[in-house]
Structure 1
Amino acid sequence: MVEAKKICKVYMTRKGPRDILKNISFCIHKGDKLGILGCNGAGKSTLIRVISGAELPTSGEIERTMSVSWPLALQGGFVGHMTGTDNLRFISRIYNVEFKQALEYVKDFSELGTYLYEPVNTYSSGMRARLAFAISMAVDFDCYLIDEISAVGDKRFNKKYKDTLFNEKGDRSLIMVSHFYGVIQEYCNKVAVLDQGRLAVFDDPKEAIALYDRVLAGQQITF
């Protein structure tokens, strides 16, 4: 289970405090797939970072009784002067993963070849994304966090990581944020809308999409 309990997040700006998340609560259980829709700047990435533990909420708490991944679109956690292999070794130690087994998996999944033994700061953005997704799949999480899933590499590789995430690991929980509801409609059984710092969760995706269409149209929404 992953449960958010009255999560608030406030950032200080030059113009004073800014409320990003306001009393957000939800709960997902094993196998649940929650999609969170929100416009750019709605606070989706902030919410994902708080759920992952990368950031602490200003108030409220996250209860986790299952293992939770880092945000899959996050590529900033690599040490640039270290090789892809060395970054994997470091992550394997943190998550108690057998390194040799993980290395074989990442070699096959990432298709980086000899670049896996080069410093990550020499990688293109696409290569970093391949490494990030490969390592994410090598660590066996109960719940995967996905921040704005997008195409990675060519069409064949894009299909490969989606098949792995949504089919091979289809029994795992997901929390996915996006500003586009096509992918959320396809993979999520619960859908929420994040707007003006507040979250509304729906068991019927159609209701969530109807609300999100109103948000996109600029209508004032009261949660």
Structure 2
Amino acid sequence: MIRLENLTKIFHIEGRRKVVMRNVSITFASGQSVALLGRNGAGKSTLLQMIAGTLAPTSGRIVSTGSISWPVGFAGSFHPELSGAQNTRFVARIYGVDADELVAFVEGFAGLGEHFHLPFRTYSSGMRSRLAFGVSMGIPFDTYLVDEVTSVGDAAFKAKSSALFKARMQTAGAVVVSHSMRMVRDLCQVGVVLEGGKLYYHDNIETAIAHHDYNMTR
């Protein structure tokens, strides 16, 4: 369960005030896959960061039960001088999972070959995304935060990523940000639309998509 209680987030940029969210209260049920829809710049990634705990709200709070992932595929916390394998072991220690098992899983899934044992700073953007997705999916969270992650890589890797994510969703929930309505329909049962600092909940994914499409054409 993830509950937003009177959540407000305001940015001050070059003397301007941008309200991303104002006094939002909503609950995402445990085990539910929720699509988070909204136009570019609405604040979807900002909300994911607040749920993950990497960004503080201006006011209000987020209450949760169970374990929540960082935004799946996010590679910003990896140390540039450590190898992919070393970074994976470090993450395993932080989250209290078996390091050898996680390393074996990520090495097999990400398909980085010898690069898995080279410094992270030498990776291309695609390789970084492969490593980040593998590490994220290798840890059994109760809720996964997803931001366009299955768009990474070639067709074969996209298919493998999508299949793995669907398997994880059999026993976990998710909050999914995607511009692909096909992906949203495939992964999510319900949806919320972020517009004008408010979240609008729909218990039918098609209704949520219709609301989002209407906003995009106004």
Residue identity in the other structure for 2:209: I
Counterparts of 1:180-219 in structure 2, within 5 Å, are: 180-218=180-218
Matched residue, 2:28: 28
Q: Deviations over 1:14-69 (max 9, x none)?
A: 22332111222221222201001111101000000000001111111111111000
Greater shift, 91-100 or 16-25, is seen at 16-25
What number of residue pairs does the alignment pair up?
218
Q: 1:168: Cα distance to partner?
A: 4.3
Q: 1:174: Cα distance to partner?
A: 0.6
C-alpha distance in 1, partners of 2:155/2:178? 20
Percent identical among aligned pairs is 36
Aligned partners of 2:11 and 2:20 also within 8 Å: yes
Greater shift, 129-138 or 209-218, is seen at 209-218
Residue identity in the other structure for 1:54: T
Matched residue, 2:75: 75
Q: Indicate yes or no: 2:69 matched with 1:106.
A: no
What stretches of structure 2 of length at least 5 have no aligned partner?
none
Q: 1:147: Cα distance to partner?
A: 1.0
Aligned partners of 2:71 and 2:145 also within 8 Å: yes
C-alpha distance in 1, partners of 2:169/2:194? 26
Q: Indicate yes or no: 2:188 matched with 1:176.
A: no
Q: Deviations over 1:70-128 (max 9, x none)?
A: 00132211111211111111111110111111111111111111111111111011100
TM-score by length of 2: 0.95
Aligned partners of 1:39 and 1:179 also within 8 Å: no
What stretches of structure 1 of length at least 5 have no aligned partner?
219-223
Q: 1:192: Cα distance to partner?
A: 1.0
C-alpha distance in 2, partners of 1:8/1:74? 24
C-alpha distance in 2, partners of 1:19/1:195? 11
TM-score by length of 1: 0.93
C-alpha distance in 2, partners of 1:50/1:204? 25
Q: Indicate yes or no: 2:119 matched with 1:119.
A: yes
Matched residue, 2:19: 19
Aligned to 2:60, the other structure's residue is in SS state strand
Give the RMSD, CA atoms, in angstroms. Answer: 1.4
Counterparts of 1:46-85 in structure 2, within 5 Å, are: 46-85=46-85
Aligned partners of 1:38 and 1:178 also within 8 Å: no
